[in-house]
Amino acid sequence: MKVLMALSGGVDSSVAAAELIDAGHDVVGVTMRLWGGESDTGCCSVADVDDARRVAQQLGIDHLVFNFTDDFNAHVVDPYVRAHSQGLTPNPCIECNRHLKFERLSERADLLGFDAVATGHHARVDVVGDRFFVHRGADAAKDQSYVVHMLPQRELRRTVFPVGHLTKAQVRQRAIALGLRTATKPDSQDVCFITQTGGREAFLGARIPFRRGTVVGSDGAVLGDVPAIEMVTVGQRRGIGLPGGGPKRYVTAIDRTTATIVVGDEADLYVSELTVEQLVWADQPYTGDVMVQCSAHGAAMPAGLDGNTVHWQQPQRCVAPGQSVVFYDASNSYVLGGGIAA
């Protein structure tokens, strides 16, 4: 099988390529140049491209570089900025997976005659009957099924996750045994276009005007203010313009129209229902008992799903609008689909 292997310059994709080669596949590595601006975090730096190229040399495979910066700006960066201006809390890494690392890369794979696309995500693709589903990775602590939940059947049928059956420790052991330059390289943790030096505030402040927001209690009493309502998210406790020493207060709602931030006790964060928009499904729309995960490393919680409404079995902390919500089957193993919290 001819496989286009996405090499990010990290240890997981490096070992994934080695696994494919060992399995006898014809492998070509590709690195996507996504963010053209300043970067000192994530997986888009010049050093990462160089690491990917050198790993390809070590493994004896060809290495390509695709310039997708325009697509990245259109589908990831611009929507990220727009979402913050609308009071939402977006997940740009998921949108990058959706639009670039699978959709756009698959289109290019078609043009070049590849049979499959592979990445270094810690997830698996399993067949149930004649349908394909993302299955959680073998390493529960590193499972990335949440961030690849959006894959439809046409993508699942030709997507390969070569390290999904390995733990992270096994991946690093394999990389060390192969002498790969990425063997001890730290994992990418941050959004690639947000620098450590400037942070989210500097990035957004250069692109959208900030509005001062008024902080009020649940009774409407004014408690303080913040310099930028665009920097506040539901569930936030620190940095919301309140004096120290008092009771803990959390953001429970944001009214973008009036530039008002409502705060309350932690108990005020708990809700019985969650509305999810922009639903996508691995196969068919599903109604019934599900496990629902609302962050990349959060625990999945039991709920009933009816249309686009999640009915929690036990009240859960509210999810910031704009965050991804992923549905798993009742066994908490297979991804059924997901969407965006309203």
pLDDT digits (tens, 9 = 90+) for 155-213: 999 999 999 999 999 999 999 999 999 999 988 767 889 988 888 999 999 999 999 99
CA–CA separation, 169 vs 276, rounded Å? 35
CA–CA separation, 43 vs 9, rounded Å? 7
CA–CA separation, 113 vs 131, rounded Å? 24
CA–CA separation, 73 vs 33, rounded Å? 12
Question: 3: Cβ–Cβ under 8 A, 6 or more apart, which residues?
Answer: 20, 25, 26, 27, 28, 114, 115, 116, 117, 118, 160
Active site residue 192: yes
Give pLDDT, residue 41.
Answer: 59
Asked if 52 and 9 count as a contact pair (C-beta separation under 8 A), the reply is: yes
Secondary structure letter of residue 299 according to DSSP: P
Distance from the first to the final alpha carbon of the chain: 42
Q: Does domain 2-178 have CATH number 3.40.50.620?
A: yes
- The residue among 206, 253, 319 whose CA lies nearest residue 87 is 253
Q: How far is CA 58 from CA 12, 17, 18, 98, 221, in A?
A: 15, 11, 10, 30, 64
Mean confidence (pLDDT) of the chain: 94
Packing angle, helices 11-22 and 168-178, rounded to 10: 70
Give pLDDT, residue 42.
Answer: 55
Give pLDDT, residue 270.
Answer: 97
Could you identify the residue written with the tokens 């927001």? 213
Question: pTM surpassing 0.75?
Answer: yes
Active site residue 96: yes
Query: Which CATH architecture fits 270-341?
Result: Beta Barrel (2.40)
Q: What is the largest CA-CA distance in the chain?
A: 67
Q: 129-138, 228-237, 238-247, 332-341 — which is least confidently predicted?
A: 238-247
How do the domains of the chain map onto residue ranges?
A: 2-178, 209-264, 270-341
Q: Which of 43, 44, 93, 96 is catalytic?
A: 96
For 17-74, how does the pLDDT look when each residue is reduced to its tens digit (9 = 90+)? 999 999 999 999 999 999 877 765 556 667 889 999 999 999 999 999 999 999 999 9
* Residues facing residue 131 across a β-bridge: 128
264 pLDDT tier (thresholds 50, 70, 90): very high
Q: Which of 43, 192, 294, 318 is catalytic?
A: 192
Query: Which CATH architecture fits 209-264?
Result: Roll (2.30)
The pLDDT of 253-278, averaged and rounded, is 95
